[in-house]
Amino acid sequence: MKKQLSDLGYKSKLALIEHLKEIVTPERFSLFERTIEQRTKYITVVLEDIYQPHNASAVLRSCDCFGIQDVHIIENKNKYTINPDVALGSSKWLTLNKYGKKENNTIATINTLKKDGYRIIATTPHTNDVTLEEFDISKGKFALLFGSEQPGLTKAALDRADEYIKIPMYGFTESFNISVSAAISLHTLSHKLRQTNIPFSLSQEEKTDIMLAWLGKSIKAYDLIVKQFLNPE
């Protein structure tokens, strides 16, 4: 089914959406329309080897709440596991990209993101770091890298980062856990982004593909309905 949908032209996808919208309630489709206008890929999140389901799921929930569509999950040693009681279904509205087939998935992920035009931003104290407030969002889209709970980001990630940011702290504890760090970072940076004239919205083609994915998560017998639409007798 994914292959069939990916082969459809833009106008055909729009026609399919018009067909499917009649199956969900008007209120649900209206919610989809409002939400998708706030989604962005200008900021994306990268999670490196997160092993605690609670924290992993809380980050996904924050991404959904702050309108971040794409999350890139690096699985070197640890399998990424979602706690449904924490995620509260947020993962099904996001585009999750998993990297777990290479010897060093961190390098492969970063290389992929750089080829796609992303600045790689390590969220960790560093010699040349800046605070969230000082970070220049206008220089281009960026990927925020978050490391595992205890060791933080690996040397491979730190060595390949373009810039480094930190959250100002004033207590005895040296760091927040990853879910808190992600929530603070995304709140600050997504708010800054939405106060600018930077075109952060998804393209029309991206909106169309995501809308179809959301409808697919909301409609029973979705594959059968789409198949009948594409191949009417």
Q: What does the pLDDT average to over 144-169?
A: 89
Which residue has better confidence, 152 or 18?
18
**pLDDT beyond 90 at 5:** no
> Do residues 26 and 179 make contact, with C-beta atoms less than 8 angstroms apart?
no
Q: How many CB atoms lie within 10 A of CB 104?
A: 13
Residue 188 has pLDDT above 90, yes or no: yes
* CATH code assigned to 41-200: 3.40.1280.10
Three-class HEC string of the chain: CHHHHHHCCHHHHHHHHHHHCCCCCHHHHHHHHHHHCCCECCEEEEEECCCCHHHHHHHHHHHHHCCECEEEEECCCCCCCCCHHHHCCHHHHCEEEEECCCCCHHHHHHHHHHHCCCEEEEECCCCCCEECCCCCHHHCCEEEEECECCCECCHHHHHHCCEEEECCCCCCCCCCCHHHHHHHHHHHHHHHHHCCCCCCECCHHHHHHHHHHHHHHHCCCHHHHHHHHHCCC
Average pLDDT of the chain, as a whole number: 89
Tens-place pLDDT, residues 7-58: 788 899 999 999 999 999 999 999 999 999 999 999 999 999 887 778 888 8
Per the CB < 8 A criterion, the answer to whether 166 and 131 are in contact is yes
pLDDT at res. 50: 82
Whole-number Å distance between alpha carbons of 88 and 90: 6
For the stretch 191-221, pLDDT in tens is: 999 999 999 999 999 999 999 999 999 999 9
- Report pLDDT for 85: 63
Q: Where in the chain is the domain with CATH 3.40.1280.10?
A: 41-200
Q: What percentage of the chain reaches a pLDDT higher than 70? A: 95
Instruction: Give the model's pLDDT for residue 172.
Output: 81
Q: What is the pTM of this model?
A: 0.91
| pLDDT for res 44 | 98
The closest of 205, 220, 153, 219 to 8, measured between CA atoms, is: 205
C-alpha closest to that of 23 among 228, 232, 233, 186: 228
List pLDDT tens digits, range 82-107. 666 665 678 899 999 998 877 789 99
